[in-house]
A and B are shown apart, each in its own frame.
Chain A
Amino acid sequence: MALITLRELTKVFNETVVAVDKVTLHVPDNAVICILGPSGCGKTTLMRMIAGLEQPTEGKIFFDDDDVTELPARERNVAMVFQFPAVYPHLTVRANIAFPLIAEGVKKDDAIRRAEEVAESLEISESLDLFPDALDAGAKQKVSIARAIVRKPRVFLFDEPLSNIDPNMRVDMKSLIKKLSRDVGQTFIYVTHDQSEAMTLADYIVVMKDGKVLQYGRPEEIYERPGTDFVGWFLGNPGMNFLQVEARKFENTWCLVSDHISIPFDGLKNLETGKRYKIGIRPEHISLVDDPKEVISGICDMVEPMGGRKIVHLKVGEDRLRVKVDPNRSITPGEKVYFSLPPEHIRIFDIETGRNIPLDAV
């Protein structure tokens, strides 16, 4: 159990490549924190510094009140799970899981008993007598996870543990890890590029890009109120849609307008008349309507069936929108479609900086 504090943590490789750029974070105790971002955003480097596998160029790392910045990895008491399973091929699953305990001096019987308990919670009890080679990638990774959680470290660090697993197994592994993190009740730091993993697992999400933290907060908060257009796009399946508009005032009514849309909009105190903005709206918030009165239209470009739902791609002038619809709704490419953009779900971003502009009610 540990509260982790990162203070202005920076990592520069080869004196030129800034992988992590002045990251300051407070990770609460017993929470699952997902560090989410695209390849190359610095998330793995950040985690490797927390683990002690990488020395920061600048900044400090604290576990509770202990400054661990200079501490070597093995003295930090962290347990790690990597992208590729780390198991001993010459040991059975049981011996693999018990190994970290035996290495710590726990009595063999106790270690075995504890290993069996952990195996049960990971649903690999029936594989205890097998050697890792007999297991598929998913089961092997479960053994790695079991080896990590069998001890009681201060922090668990997971680096994309599901990225090499058959997608069909991923759903199950995801909820298993979620259940585990709740049961174990320790600090988990989980690195991923998959927003659905982050949304499912995290108590808090850290969105990173170009070595910097873009946003830190509860999943639903980040999803609902993305701090930048990038965050809006990165979270969600598919992500937020964007349209370019101009803010205008007609007599007493504010409107967001473009060649193709016009939306009366309250609460535009922070906007400038005549200035262009980017508006963002999530695919599930666009409603297709049959009545062509006072609504916006687009041409259906493509339909992606997704099982429990359907993604309709629309062309609206130069912009493209993705709309989530009921799978039973029939719609064909080339069809003209009417839709509305509910003002309460519209988010406004600065075109230059991509930053969200909070809307104060006038």
Chain B
Amino acid sequence: MNEIRLENIQKAFGKKVALDDVSLEITKGTFTCVLGPPGAGKTTLLRIIAGLERADRGRIIIDGVDVGALPPAERGISFVAQDFALYPHMNVYKNIAYPLKLKKMDPREIDKKVREVAEFLKIEKLLDRNPEQLSGGEQQRVAIARGLVKDAALYLFDEPLTNLDYKIREDMRAEFRKIQQETGQTIIYATSDSVEAISMSQHLVVMNEGIVVEYGNTLKIYNRPNQLFTARYFGYPPMNLIPARVQKETSLETNYFSIAIPPELGKQLKGMNLTAAIRPESLQISQDGMKNKSVVFDSKVLLTDIIGSDTIVHLEGEKGFSDRIRAFVPRAYNALPGTPIKAGFDIKDLYIYDAQAEKLLWKGDV
């Protein structure tokens, strides 16, 4: 059995339910991100897998063995917690080497592994230092190194890059993914950052309030979020969500645009509270006409956020700023606030959600 399986995990702290009937299958050798806001249950999930916390109910099966009763040290798991601790009396080298020494690995082999992982984490120059001489970000990288160097069946990381400088994060994202591809390690990585989730992981678990909202192939979920929560949370910038309704069976109406829809769909959606959703990158903007998009509406520029070669253009919403619509333009684009502008998209990029049940009802590409 080449997998990690969680079956109906339940966990409460007092009255607060931290995990509610969580079941998952993680294929060995893959990189899985657990994405969700603070308080979603990500950390509790990792701690239960690692054995640092006991589930109230449910089973954890690794390689066919129920590990629920095993102490953390016997689970073959490497866990880098967010509140990691380094050994203060050991230098960086010894900190990283420690788990290997415990396993009585050959010193030359230890040396090779420590230097390899230190180079990958760009801390090779810090090996002789003591933890108290390091910045928070450097300590974090030492903790990651110590976690990765171990020989484990499963590697758990709890938001490991959160406290690092933005620029280091950018490099580490790519390096993390590369090392996983090269070593074939099984990684479960908790994050609240959509960019990390989309750029690093093969599989994605979206969590909210102790529940697994959605899980599967990362790009598939990105292209087709079945739950409104996923649509709202997984994307950078987040998806545009616009209240919509069907009054006449042949058209979907919002305060910005209305589009023709097949009558069968119209019948199904009539009278429901709907949310029309469009990714910012699917929304094209232009100050002139727009011929190549099937739906075009008029708006006004509120703000342009130019981030180097990308721009997030904020367009005026019904209420002005608070319900603004965002377009992602993959180049520098500047326009003064108040500039009239056309925004357009293709029907294939439109999602329609049931606003009450928060479920995907229809996507334009089917």
Contact = CB atoms under 8 A, between A and B. Distances in A.
Contacts of B310: 237, 308-309
B309 A175 contact: no
A161 interface: no
A223 B309 CA distance: 9
Interface stretch (A19-27, A163-171, A265-273): A163-171
A168 B194 contact: yes
B330 A195 contact: no
13 contacts: A38-B168, A39-B135, A167-B192, A171-B312, A175-B305, A199-B308, A239-B170, A283-B309, A304-B174, A307-B198, A307-B235, A326-B330, A327-B281
A115 B22 CA distance: 44
Contacts of B99: none
Nearest to A307: B198
B305 A236 contact: no
Interface residues of B, number: 49
A302 B178 contact: yes
| Interface majority SS (helix, strand, loop, mixed), chain A | mixed
Contact of B305 (A39, A200, A308, A327): A200
Given A237-B308, A284-B309, A304 B173 contact: yes
A306 interface: yes
A304 B177 contact: yes
A97 B236 CA distance: 31
Interface in B164-200: 165-168, 170, 173-174, 177-178, 181, 192-195, 198-200
A287 B280 CA distance: 24
A223 B311 CA distance: 14
Interface string B284-310: 000000000000000000110111111
B308 A223 contact: yes
Nearest to A234: B167
Nearest to B200: A304
B165 A193 contact: yes
A194 interface: yes
Contacts of B198: 305-307
Contacts of B235: 307
A324 B309 contact: yes
B253 to A, nearest CB: 26
A305 B307 contact: no
A238 interface: yes
A309 B237 contact: no
B79 interface: no
A175 B192 contact: no
B247 to A, nearest CB: 30
B137 interface: yes
Interface string B212-229: 000000010010000000
Interface of B: 37-38, 135-137, 165-168, 170, 173-174, 177-178, 181, 192-195, 198-200, 219, 222, 233, 235-238, 279-281, 302-303, 305-310, 312, 314, 321-322, 326, 328, 330-332
Interface string A277-316: 0000011100000000000000001101111110101000
A344 interface: no
Contacts of A171: 236-238, 312, 326
A237 B193 contact: no
Contacts of B309: 236, 282-284, 324
Interface string A241-253: 0000000000000
Given A40-B135, A193-B166, A302-B174, A178 B305 contact: yes
B167 A239 contact: yes
B237 A179 contact: no
Interface string A163-204: 000111001001110110000000000000111100110000
Interface of A: 38-40, 123, 136-137, 166-168, 171, 174-176, 178-179, 193-196, 199-200, 219-220, 223, 233-239, 282-284, 301-302, 304-309, 311, 313, 324, 326-327
A10 to B, nearest CB: 22
Given A306-B198, A307-B198, A220 B38 contact: no
A235 B308 CA distance: 7
B78 to A, nearest CB: 23
A136 B38 contact: yes
Contacts of A326: 330
B206 to A, nearest CB: 12
Contacts of B237: 171
Contact of A167 (B194, B199, B322): B194
Contact of A39 (B37, B165, B178): B165
A174 B136 CA distance: 25
A195 B166 contact: yes
A201 to B, nearest CB: 8
A238 B170 contact: yes
Contacts of A308: 279-281, 310, 328, 330
Contact of B279 (A168, A283, A307): A307
Contacts of B178: 301-302
